[in-house]
Each structure stands twice: as structure tokens, then as C-alpha cells.
Amino acid sequence: MDILNLIRISAKALMRNKTRTALSMLGIVIGIAAVIAVVNLGEGLKQSTANQLSDMGTNLIMVMRANQRRGGVSMGSSNVQSLKVHDCELIAKNAKNVTLVSPVVNSGGQLVNGSKNWSGTVYGGSPDYLEIRKYEIATGVNFTDDDVKKYAKVGLIGQTIVENLFDDGEDPIGKIIRVGNMPFKVIGTLKEKGQNSMGMDQDDLVVMPYSTVQKRMLGQDFIQQIVCSAASENVAEAAVEEIESILRASHKIPEGGDDDFEVRTQQEMLEMMSSMTGMITTVLVAIALISLLVGCIGIMNIMYVTVTERTKEIGLRMSIGAKNSAILMQFLTESIILSLIGGVIGLLLGLLLSYVVSLFMSLPYVVNVMWMVIAFVSCAVLGLISGFFPALKASRTDPINALRYE
Amino acid sequence: MSAQNSIIKVENLKRTFVVGSEEVHALKGVSFEICQGEFVSIMGSSGSGKSTLLNILGCLDQPTSGEYLIDGISVRERTKNELSDIRNRKIGFVFQSYNLLPRTSALENVELPLVYNPDVSHRERREKAQHALELVGLKDRMEHMPNQLSGGQQQRVAIARALVNDPVIVLADEATGNLDTRTSYEIMSLFQNLHEQGKTIAFVTHESDIAVFTSRTIFLRDGHILRDESVATKSAAEALAALPKENDY
């Protein structure tokens, strides 16, 4: 008996009872749909995190203060004053793989414009800060190196601050507003960037020359952070090494001593984030796989019922010359067709579902082809497994008894 | 009766079942021969062994001892698969309860035995099935489903299915058992027509008024052949005409 014939016989048998066929497919449909939807959404989440991280900056490298021990006493990283503007200058001068460098000092304060006020964060940086952090100027201009030298009381404000301190249609450029007790002139506004992956509003900020924040607001000579741009993604690792050796030399850290700073690349943060989303996805896929398993048990169940219900048909087929193997193959094929069609429907449903959900959650829509293949193959295998025992039972039917079965 | 046209030959056929610790002798040594073109009825009350005999003749069961040759082939020590092939190529079954596949057209029901014969192409299958349905007078019912057909028509489809593989013998098991008198006579008339066309038919029944339409009757009782006699055949068509009109529906 050729395979085409077999498929025809099985397909006809399935067509003969459409309701039952559809119901037994349902389990597989839901299982596969769940797996595909979860995998695709997980992938979308990962992609969206990656996008947002890359929004943080251009080949961003961050140098942070690290926990330092002085005479055996752990200082805690927020008290460490190891990073200086001088370090930035050294990196800018000596690190070949680094294109842009900016110190970062931040301070919070109440922003006041007339009767309106808003609590915001002030970031102090060099004129390169905006480019490193991928902020674009909407209106006005950036501050200059000259402003840095003069501790100029100028700043650029993000859209959230524009909305909260100014009336609709009011042009903030040239206005004098206050942060804490210090008045400053708004020389520019920043384009909207939205929330980052942590849900932080990236438009709620004021950017000023670092010297202004350092001397006029905080009165400190150290800086909190250094941000740099590597020349390209490929040289990010080399850039990190350069920065580390420059800072170790500058901070006079002996061979084998602990660094008083920490260098992180965007790549590392990306890996950290994706390992987190990956874990969530894995758990959800595991749950979806359980529902797939339940679907298979459903098929096995229905196939058993089918075999019993069709005892007479099996007897007849045997009496007119169907071999035991032909009966076995027929029921196996039926269960494989059942699960494959269920799988395809589930696949399409899963794609649709993940599309709709990613639309609502404004996640990028990513299709994981590998998992689609896995799902499809596992459908065939599961069909085979769940159909095997019922089919075996069918093929062992005694035709004499089967023909008398009522 | 030359050996060449012997279709079925059984010799000292015995069949013993073991039920619990007891042995039941269903056939206690049966011998007969059916030749090409014969229309034989096998009669007996229940428990006479006629079902057991039919199962063995139909290659669904194997005798405990004795010889059985169908179309010159011994069925002793055949594997299950070989028996399947014999059933597929040499035997046509007609059952009491028709045993048609539900929700499957008459044509496809008739095609079924050929599906299990890889030598028959899809097209040949269709042609043969159409021809068989024409033979039983259901040319215009080919696409009907079993539930759209009367009992008699369903049995005709089943007969067409038994004929489609051009078997050496048609085995009918109480083929009129579920039908009223008129339809029974119609079916017997059809069998007689087929017999005239040269088909070999073995008809198992317990109704003597059905057996009279065959040309030879084998009586079984308690696993033995009681009588094996050729009888004058009554025409089913005439019997049909003689039925009172009010039986019409």
C-alpha cells in the first residue's frame, strides 16, 4: 500500500467525523499556539530590551566608581571619590579606540519657572555627552567647551520638563528658570526618547556643563561616572582594556590590586538583560510545553475511543484484505495528520496571537523560525507517539469478533 | 467435477475451541468440494458450526486440523499477511449487516477492497467499482451515502463490493437476514443472476425458504455434514412476482 493511498484513507476517515477531528486537534492547536506565541513574544521582549539599550548610547562604555577598601574598611561605592575630570582627559588623549568622552555628575533639585515647579535630575557633562547618550537637540543649541570653562549657567531640558514647566506653545529657549537656588538659561530642548527598559522616563532631565554642576551646585571635585563612545562595536573590548590600563596607571593601583572603578560596556548590559528575559521565556515555554503534552494525551484519548468505536470498520477492512500493518499505518497516519494539521493551525494562531500582543505592548514583532521548525517536527513526533498505542490496539483486532461487534 | 475447476475443497476439517478448561468441537471432520459456477447454500441451526465453517472458508480463521484448498492453494500454515492477500484477491464477503463505511459514498465503499491491492491503479479502481455497481443495478446511486439508501440497496452495494475484486468465490453470511421477504427475494434474484453469469457463490443461511433458491444445499448439524444434496432451483424472480401486491411499499 503506497503512502499516498494511506494518506487518502486516513484523511477520509478523519473527514467522516469532523467534529471529533476538530475537538481532538484543539489540544495540539492550543499547545503549539502557546509555545509559538510565548517564544515570539520572548524574542520580541529581548529585541526591545536590546533596542532600548542601544538607545542609551552609541557603543556606550560606562566607567563607574567601584567599592574601595581603605585599610580593610569597605567604603561603599557612593562614597568613593576616585574618578576625576583629569581621568576623562587622560582617556580622551590616550585611548585610541575611544572617540568621545564625557564626565557625568548628577544632582537633583526642584526646578522652578514662575508658579510652576517640577522635581528633576540634572546631569552635568561635556558637550559630547548628548552624542554619547544619543540625545538629539529638538530646538536651540548645545553648550560649548567655553561654557564648560566659564561654569556657564546654561542647560538643555528634556520634553517632560518642557511639558511641566512651560505652557503649551510657550518657547522655552532663552527663558531663565531655577534649579534649587541657581538660575540658569534654557539654551535648548531635547527630542523625546521615551521610557527605557526599566520604565524610567528618559526625558525627565536637564543637561548642563559638568563644571557648572560640580562647582556651582555640588561643590565637589570628583565625578560620579565617565561615559565614552567606542569607535565601533568591534573595538569595544579593546577600548575597555585601554581605559582600564589608563585608569589603573592614573590611580596608581599596584599590580594585583583591586580597581577602584568598574568599566561596563553596552554589550555586557545587553547580555545581562537578555539572560533575564531568557529566563522568563524559558519558564513560560515550559508551561506552554505542558499544555502541548496535555494536547497529545487528548489525541491519544480520542484515538483510543476511535479505535473502539470503529471496531466493526476495522473488522471489515481486515476481512476484505487489509493487513494488520495496513490498519496500524492507517491509524498512525490519522493521528499524525491530526497533530500536523493541529500544529499548522496552532502555528498560525500563535503567530497571530504574538502579533496582536506585541502590537498592544508595542514590542517589536519577531518570528523565531527555529522554534517554528521545532514545533512542527514535535507535532509529527507527538502524533506518532500518541497514535502508536491506539493504532497497535487496532491492528491487533480479531476480525471475526470485530465483525460481530455492535 | 474435474480437479481444475474446484474452487473450494475441504477435507476432514476440524476446529476445536478451548473455552476455559473445556474443549468445544465446533467442526468434527467436514469434507466437501465446491466447483466453479456453483451456487451453494450452507444451512444449519445455530450451534451447527456454520459460522465456524464460514470463518475458515473466508480465511479469517484456521482449522485445527484437516485440509482446505481455495483455488488450488492450501491455506494451512499461511501467515496472517498471506491470508490477508488471499481474502483480498480470491474472496468476496457479504455480511448480514452490510458493514458499509458510514458517510462514505457507495462508489467509495465498493472501491475499498481494491485500495488494499497495490496492483490496481486509482483509475482502474474507479472503473471496476462503477462496473460492479452497474452489475447490481445501482448505476444511478453511486454517490449516495449509506444512510440515503434502503436496506436492500445497501446490501446491493455490499454485493458490489464483494464482486469488485473479481473473486473466485462470494461468501455470503446470512445476507438476507436483515431484509424483509420482498427485498430478500430481490437479493436472491440478484445472486441468481450473478450465478448465471458464472459466479461461484456460497450462501450461509438458516432459512430454508432462502436456501431453495440455490442449486445445492449442505446441511450442517453439530459439526457434521448431515446432508449434501443438489436441489431443483426455484426462481427468485418468479417468487418475487408471486408475492401479494400489498407487500409493495
| Residue A71 is assigned to a structural domain of this protein | no
Residue to substitute from A306, A320, A400, interface B, most B β-carbons within 10 A:
A320
| Residue A191 is assigned to a structural domain of this protein | yes
Does A319 contact B102 at a Cβ distance shorter than 8 Å? no
User: What's the residue count for chain B?
Assistant: 249
| Residue A244 is assigned to a structural domain of this protein | yes
| Residue A65 is assigned to a structural domain of this protein | no
Closest residue to A322, CB basis, from B84, B93, B104? B84
What confidence tens digit (pLDDT) does each residue in A252-280 have?
888 877 788 888 888 788 788 778 888 88
Report how far residue A402's alpha carbon sits from residue A320's, in angstroms, rounded to the nearest whole number.
Answer: 13
| Residue A66 is assigned to a structural domain of this protein | no
> What is the pLDDT at residue B1?
44
**A236 shares a domain with A298:** no
Q: Is the pLDDT of residue B145 over 80?
A: yes
- Name the minimum distance, in Å, from the CA of B85 to any CA of chain A: 6
Report how far residue B7's alpha carbon sits from residue B4's, in angstroms, rounded to the nearest whole number.
Answer: 8
Report how far residue B223's alpha carbon sits from residue B29's, in angstroms, rounded to the nearest whole number.
Answer: 7
Report how far residue A203's alpha carbon sits from residue A197's, in angstroms, rounded to the nearest whole number.
Answer: 14
> What residues form DSSP beta bridges with A201?
A195
Query: What's the sign of the alpha-carbon dihedral A355, A359, A363, A364?
Result: positive
CATH among 3.50.50.60, 3.40.50.720, 3.40.50.300, 3.40.1010.20 for B3-247: 3.40.50.300
> What is the pLDDT at residue A363?
83
Report how far residue A301's alpha carbon sits from residue A298's, in angstroms, rounded to the nearest whole number.
Answer: 5
What percent of chain B is predicted at pLDDT more than 90? Answer: 73
> What residues form DSSP beta bridges with A104?
A225
Does A400 contact B104 at a Cβ distance shorter than 8 Å? no
Nearest residue on chain B to A313, alpha-carbon basis: B101
Determine contact: A6 vs chain B, CB below 8 A.
no
Rg of the Cα trace of chain A? 33
| Residue A61 is assigned to a structural domain of this protein | no
Cell numbers representing residue B10 in the block: 475441504
> What is the pLDDT at residue B248?
55
**Total domain count for chain A?**
2
> Which residues from A are below 8 Å from B108, CB to CB?
12
Strand (E) positions, A86-175? Answer: 98-113, 116-125, 137-140, 154-157
DSSP state for residue B192 in the 8-state scheme: H
**A344 shares a domain with A315:** yes
Q: What is the mean pLDDT of chain B?
A: 90
Residue-number span of the structural domain to which A237 is assigned: 81-259
**A371 shares a domain with A247:** no
> What is the pLDDT at residue B31?
94
Q: What is the mean pLDDT of chain A?
A: 87
| Residue A363 is assigned to a structural domain of this protein | yes
**A366 shares a domain with A294:** yes
Residue ranges of the domains in chain B? 3-247
Which residue type is seen at B173?
A: D
> What is the pLDDT at residue A75?
62
| Residue A266 is assigned to a structural domain of this protein | no
> What residues form DSSP beta bridges with A64?
A225, A262
Q: Is the pLDDT of residue B3 over 60?
A: no
Does A321 contact B60 at a Cβ distance shorter than 8 Å? no
**A151 shares a domain with A43:** no
Number of cross-chain residue pairs from A and B with Cβ atoms under 8 Å apart: 64
> What is the pLDDT at residue B249?
53
Give the residue from A231, A259, A287 where a domain finishes. A259
Does B101 contact A2 at a Cβ distance shorter than 8 Å? no
Residue A118: alpha-carbon gap to chain centroid:
32
> Which residues from A are below 8 Å from B118, CB to CB?
1-2
When pLDDT is cut at 50, 70 and 90, the band that residue B243 belongs to is confident
CB half-sphere exposure, A127, CA atoms < 13 A: 12
Closest residue to B87, CB basis, from A9, A319, A400? A319
Q: Is the pLDDT of residue B140 over 90?
A: yes
Determine contact: A317 vs chain B, CB below 8 A.
yes
* φ and ψ at residue B97, rounded to 5 degrees: -100, 30
Of A197 and B245, the structure prediction assigns the larger pLDDT to: B245
pLDDT average, residue stretch B104-122? 91
Report how far residue A11's alpha carbon sits from residue A5's, in angstroms, rounded to the nearest whole number.
Answer: 10
Which residue type is seen at B93?
A: F
What percent of chain B is predicted at pLDDT more than 70? Answer: 97
Cβ A202 vs Cβ A196: under 8 Å:
yes
pLDDT in tens, chain A (406 residues): 578 778 888 888 888 888 888 888 888 899 899 989 988 888 888 888 878 777 777 788 989 887 666 666 666 666 677 788 889 999 988 888 899 999 999 888 899 998 888 998 999 999 999 999 889 999 999 999 999 999 999 999 999 999 999 988 888 999 999 998 899 999 999 998 877 766 678 889 999 999 999 998 888 888 989 999 988 878 888 899 999 999 888 888 888 777 888 888 887 887 887 788 888 888 988 988 888 888 888 888 888 888 898 899 999 999 999 999 999 999 999 888 888 999 999 999 999 999 999 888 888 888 888 888 988 888 888 888 888 999 999 999 999 889 888 7
**A278 shares a domain with A241:** no
Residue with cell 401486491: B245
Cell numbers representing residue B140 in the block: 444511478
**A153 shares a domain with A15:** no
Residues 128-147 of A with CB under 8 A from B: none
**A278 shares a domain with A246:** no
- Name the minimum distance, in Å, from the CA of A305 to any CA of chain B: 17
Does A400 contact B61 at a Cβ distance shorter than 8 Å? yes
Does A16 contact B108 at a Cβ distance shorter than 8 Å? no
Report how far residue A11's alpha carbon sits from residue A26's, in angstroms, rounded to the nearest whole number.
Answer: 17
Nearest residue on chain B to A6, alpha-carbon basis: B115
Cβ B54 vs Cβ B45: under 8 Å:
no
Report how far residue B173's alpha carbon sits from residue A357's, in angstroms, rounded to the nearest whole number.
Answer: 63
**A111 shares a domain with A234:** yes
Report how far residue A21's alpha carbon sits from residue B145's, in angstroms, rounded to the nearest whole number.
Answer: 20
> Which residues from B are below 8 Å from A325, CB to CB?
81
- Collapsing DSSP to helix, strand or coil, A369 comes out as helix
Report how far residue A326's alpha carbon sits from residue B116's, in angstroms, rounded to the nearest whole number.
Answer: 8
**A236 shares a domain with A91:** yes
Nearest residue on chain A to B98, alpha-carbon basis: A316
